């Protein structure tokens, strides 16, 4: 009997990073011998690959508990509507891409109704809120994980997981033309460059930019001839950053401001000072010594303190398995500590080289054919109907 060649895939992404991951997966599946219909919540990259979005992805984009409480009713309404939609028109497979606080509840209801569920990107249950593992077993048939240590973690808890690596590695040049990058951004060829990357969201920039700028000022006084550069994702966030710069009353800081091109800015710098998050992983893949810093609101802090169970918060240290790079969190995130840790890199070239070598090993461990591996998992979950269709 001829197998099926047409499949309907429900898919939901809630962040820019998830949009990119899902778009790569959709692109790879569209190159297979089958025809797919993708529908759910999609960002612009997913939509460009043919995914139909029932709601704007931005409605799910949140940061911390503060943003959640302000829009909980709207988000719950969207999730209920999606449950009703997918139960009335069941897809052959549902894929939740990251956004675990939204997707896990949706996935549980769909799987209970007999719809197979694939979750792409592990929630950070290895770091905090481990109690969610029981619910995840009920919500997910298979997990696609980005990092090797996550695969080992899920094996311990008997959750079906597949390592696909991180697609980001393919997008970041392993041997960029640093001289050309410096020329492009107006950076001096003969100066040591420190990149200030205080975050990509409004709240992060408001919390972190002043600290970073004051640390830069002290570093400039301590090491004459330093140059600084910052990159903001868009013009509105650059305006916010410059407002924070005005508050510091710093006038003589040698600072270049770049809109966009954050990864290229990282590559053009010698040392990075950045807010914890995806940027810390990007720093490891780019291969630049970094100091990771972060401050969150008091409410988020209390929740993390109560529910966390890891020694390290930054991804480079979790991937390395030891304190490879400095982490400055909450009360330890001070101007003085930022200056101290950046100074260690400036004064000790062997330390900086050690971090670079460890980052190269991390990059190699993540450098897999992620889109293809993810697509293979989808086809495996679609089962014998897809395989039979390929043979006919």
Alpha-helix runs per DSSP H in the chain: 16-30, 44-48, 64-70, 72-88, 100-112, 132-139, 148-156, 168-171, 178-185, 202-222, 235-248, 262-268, 278-286, 298-307, 315-320, 335-347, 349-366, 370-382, 384-391
85 with 50, same domain: the answer is: yes
Q: How far apart are CA 212 and CA 84, in angstroms?
A: 47
Please enumerate, as own/partner, the contacts of 150-155 that have beta carbons within 8 Å and a separation of 24 or more. 150/122, 150/126, 153/125, 153/126, 154/122
Q: How far apart are CA 86 and CA 193, in angstroms?
A: 51
Report yes or no on 121 lying in a domain. yes
190, exposed or middle or buried, with CB in 10 Å at 0-12, 13-18, 19+?
exposed
DSSP string, 116-136: -EEEES--GGGTB-TTHHHHH
**CATH code assigned at 373:** 3.40.50.2000
Q: How far apart are CA 43 and CA 29, in angstroms?
A: 17
383 with 281, same domain: the answer is: no
239 with 316, same domain: the answer is: yes
135 with 156, same domain: the answer is: yes
In angstroms, what CA-CA distances link 135 with 132, 326, 359? 5, 34, 34
293 with 198, same domain: the answer is: yes
Domain count within the chain: 2
157 with 37, same domain: the answer is: yes
Report yes or no on 279 lying in a domain. yes
**pLDDT value, residue 64:** 44
Report yes or no on 137 lying in a domain. yes
Report yes or no on 328 lying in a domain. yes
81 with 214, same domain: the answer is: no
DSSP state of 329: E
**pLDDT value, residue 147:** 92
The angle subtended at Cα 382 by Cα 366 and Cα 111, nearest 5°, is: 90
End-to-end CA distance of the chain: 9
Report yes or no on 300 lying in a domain. yes
Report yes or no on 1 lying in a domain. no
DSSP string, 201-222: SHHHHHHHHHHHHHHHHHHHHH
Q: How far apart are CA 363 and CA 287, in angstroms?
A: 8
Report yes or no on 117 lying in a domain. yes
**pLDDT value, residue 198:** 95
37 with 109, same domain: the answer is: yes
DSSP string, 282-304: HHHHHT--EEEEE---HHHHHHH
The angle subtended at Cα 276 by Cα 250 and Cα 290, nearest 5°, is: 70
348 with 385, same domain: the answer is: no
203 with 332, same domain: the answer is: yes
Q: Which of 273, 288, 263, 271 is nearest to 210 (CA)?
A: 273
**pLDDT value, residue 345:** 98
Report yes or no on 241 lying in a domain. yes
Q: Which domain holds residue 187?
A: 171-366
pLDDT along the chain (392 residues), means of 10: 78 90 96 96 96 91 51 86 96 94 93 96 69 82 93 88 92 93 96 95 90 97 96 94 92 93 96 90 96 74 50 85 92 95 97 97 95 96 60 38
**pLDDT value, residue 114:** 96
Q: How far apart are CA 143 and CA 186, in angstroms?
A: 44
226 with 266, same domain: the answer is: yes
Residue 35 bridge partners (DSSP): 6
240 with 149, same domain: the answer is: no
């Amino acid at each position: 009997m001829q197998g099926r060649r047409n499949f309907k895939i429900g898919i939901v992404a809630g962040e820019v990073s998830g949009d990119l991951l899902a778009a790569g997966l959709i692109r790879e599946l569209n190159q297979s011998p089958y025809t797919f219909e993708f529908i759910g919540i999609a960002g612009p990259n997913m939509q460009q690959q043919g995914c139909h979005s029932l709601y704007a992805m931005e409605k799910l984009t949140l940061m911390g508990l503060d943003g959640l409480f302000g829009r909980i009713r709207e988000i719950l309404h969207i999730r209920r509507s999606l449950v009703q939609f997918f139960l009335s028109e069941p897809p052959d497979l549902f894929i939740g891409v990251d956004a675990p606080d939204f997707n896990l509840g949706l996935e549980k209801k769909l799987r209970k109704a007999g719809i197979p569920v694939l979750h792409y990107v592990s929630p950070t249950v290895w770091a905090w809120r481990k109690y969610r593992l029981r619910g995840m077993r009920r919500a997910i048939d298979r997990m696609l994980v980005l990092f090797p240590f996550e695969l080992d973690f899920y094996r311990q808890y008997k959750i079906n997981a597949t390592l696909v690596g991180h697609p980001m590695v393919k997008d970041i040049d392993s041997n960029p033309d640093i001289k050309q990058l410096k020329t492009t951004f107006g950076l001096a060829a003969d100066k040591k460059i420190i990149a200030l990357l205080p975050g990509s969201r409004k709240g992060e920039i408001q919390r972190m930019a002043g600290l970073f700028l004051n640390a830069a000022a002290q570093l400039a006084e301590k090491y004459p001839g330093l140059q600084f550069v910052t990159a903001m994702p868009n013009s509105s966030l650059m305006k916010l950053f410059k407002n924070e710069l005005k508050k510091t009353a710093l006038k003589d800081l040698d600072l270049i401001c770049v809109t966009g091109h954050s990864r290229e800015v990282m590559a053009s710098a010698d040392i990075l000072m950045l807010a914890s998050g995806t940027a810390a992983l990007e720093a490891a893949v780019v291969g630049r010594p970094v100091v990771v810093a972060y401050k969150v609101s008091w409410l988020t802090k209390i929740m993390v303190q109560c529910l966390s169970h890891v020694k390290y918060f930054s991804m480079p240290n979790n991937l390395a398995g030891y304190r490879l790079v400095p982490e400055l969190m909450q009360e330890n995130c001070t101007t003085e500590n930022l200056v101290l840790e950046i100074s260690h890199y400036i004064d000790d070239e062997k330390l900086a080289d050690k971090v670079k070598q460890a980052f190269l090993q991390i990059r190699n461990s993540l450098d897999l054919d992620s889109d293809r591996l993810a697509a293979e998992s989808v086809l495996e979950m679609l089962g014998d109907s897809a395989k039979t269709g390929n043979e006919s």
